[in-house]
């Protein structure tokens, strides 16, 4: 049997190939995650705004000032 040794260069090349592949996938996913987070944040702010307006209408105080 012929022995083939694994050299440091072989390992470095393989690790670089795997790393570049993973970095490309992470960059693609990062864009999707960021846009989903922004949209989710906007939706949450709008929901809290609408709930706050509704609660404010039902519990708001009406002050009447009369001149004597």
Residue numbers of the chain with a pLDDT score lower than 70: 1-2, 55-60
For the chain, domain boundaries: 8-58
Q: What is the pLDDT of residue 2?
A: 57
Predicted TM-score (pTM) of the model is 0.50
SS3 content of the chain, % helix, strand, coil (to 5): 75, 0, 25
Q: What is the pLDDT of residue 38?
A: 97
CA distance 50 to 45: 9
Phi/psi at 66 (5° precision): -120, 140
């Amino acid at each position: 049997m012929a022995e083939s040794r694994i050299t440091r260069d072989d390992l470095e090349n393989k690790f670089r190939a795997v790393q570049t592949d993973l970095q490309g996938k992470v960059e693609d996913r990062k864009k999707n995650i960021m846009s989903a987070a922004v949209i989710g944040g906007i939706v949450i702010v709008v929901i809290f705004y609408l709930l706050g307006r509704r609660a404010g209408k039902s519990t708001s105080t009406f002050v009447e000032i009369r001149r004597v």
